[in-house]
Chain A
C-alpha cells in the first residue's frame, strides 16, 4: 500500500515490526561454531541469498553451526563493521533482521562492500607548493 504519511495508515493495517519474518533469527542469539540448533538452516539460506555462502552449494543445509556458517558470519561482520566474533551475537543478529535491499553483498565470493568490487591501487604524491593531492589510477 501507498500512504502519504505514517498517520494515514489505517490502524487495522498497521503491522508492527515483529512480523518481519527475519525476526525469528533473533532466537539464534548466542549460537556459535559446534552447536546444532533447530532451524539454523534458515539463516544459512539467508546468508546464501546475499552471497555470503556460495550459490554453488546446494540449499539443503543442515542445522549445524559449521565452518560454512562461521565463515559467512565473519564476512558479514566484516562488511557491516561489527566485531568479528564468528558467532551469532546480539549486535550481528540485530543487523541481520533489518529490512534491506535484495542485491547481494558478495558476488562470486568477493565482497562488493569493502572496496572488493573493484581493484585499484594509487600512485600518490604531494605537490610541495600547492599541497594538492595527486592520485593516479593503476
Chain B
C-alpha cells in the first residue's frame, strides 16, 4: 500500500462522512446502492462511517459521472482507457467516466464477468473510495488499490494490503476482527529502506 505525499487523511473531527450524487446524473437507486456497498467494505475495517445525503453541494464526498472535460482539468477519454479518478482527503471528489458500460448487479459468481467490454462498477467504486480515504496505488496485483482493472473483472474484497494501509491512517474498526480479509499479503514490505521507485 502507499499514501499520497504528506499522508493526507480525514481529520479526527470528520470521521462521520456524508456522500451525495450529482443530481444531473439522475442515477437509479440500483446504481446508488452499488456505492453504498462499496463504502461498507471500507467502513467494516476502520472507525469511519459513511452516510448518504441528498445535498450534493455540502456533502463531504461528491460522486458524479462525467464525460470529457468536466471542470477539474482531468478530462475523461471516452470508452475504456481511464475509468475514474478521485481526489485525496479532504477534497472528496469522486468522478467516473460516463462513457463506459457499467455493470451494476454485483453478480458474477467466479470473479469474472462474461462481458469483455464492460466494467464492474462496484470494483471501481471500492478502488476510488480508497483514494478518497488517502490510499495511493499499490503494486500488489490482487489488492483493490492496484491501478488497473481488466474488463469483465470483478474485484471488490479488500486485500490485507488495503486493510493494513487504511488502518495505518485511521486505526481499526473496534468491531473488525480481521476475518473479513479474504486474501493474505503475499509479499514482504517495509524492509527498512523506506523510499524506492
Contacts and interface: CB of A to CB of B under 8 A. Distances in A.
Given A110-B195, A112-B136, A118-B7, A99 B114 contact: no
The interface residues of chain A, by DSSP majority, are classed as loop
B139 A20 contact: no
A70 B2 CA distance: 24
A105 B104 contact: no
Contacts, number: 172
Given A14-B117, A15-B117, A98-B150, A115 B2 contact: yes
Q: Which of A14, A80, A99 has the most CB of B within 10 A?
A: A99
A17 B139 CA distance: 24
A121 interface: yes
Q: Is the interface of B mostly helix, strand, loop or mixed?
A: loop
Interface of A: 1-7, 9, 13-17, 19-22, 50, 75, 78-81, 95, 98-103, 105-108, 110-122, 124, 135
Interface of B: 2-5, 7, 28, 30-31, 74, 76-86, 101-105, 107, 113-119, 121, 124, 127-128, 131, 136-139, 141, 147-152, 189-190, 192-197
9 contacts: A7-B115, A9-B101, A15-B79, A21-B80, A81-B139, A99-B80, A101-B131, A117-B7, A121-B194
